Amino acid sequence: MATGSTTTSANGTAGPAAGTGSWAIGGGGGKGAIRLGAAVGIGGAGGSSHMGHGGASRGTAGVGVVPRGYGGGGGGSVSASGASQAGAAGERGIVIVELYA
């Protein structure tokens, strides 16, 4: 959400659509965030995948929480008192190749 000091909220993001292949599944959407004042808010959690967990939401000022496992989204940050904080990067995905003889 945009910087500010007024009460507001932001919706999470939609999860990605399924890809192609014999095991093609989409991921979970990111979670919403809320700001209650200039120094009070909750950053949104990252979306989870079927093989990983999104980064948790945070309620104190700081950078976003990193995800665990394959394909998890990074958690959102909380910026307080004008200090810029970055959200966490999402985790890498995985490609599983099955070979048949």
Consecutive H or E run containing 51: strand 51-53
Tens digits of residue pLDDT in 50-79: 899 999 999 988 999 999 999 999 999 988
Tens digits of residue pLDDT in 74-93: 999 988 777 788 999 999 98
Q: Report domain extents, the chain.
A: 1-101
Q: What angle do CA 59, 63, 65 make, to 5 degrees?
A: 75
Q: Mean pLDDT in the chain?
A: 87
CA distance 48 to 40: 25
What pLDDT, on the 0 to 100 scale, is given for residue 101?
79
What pLDDT, on the 0 to 100 scale, is given for residue 39?
80
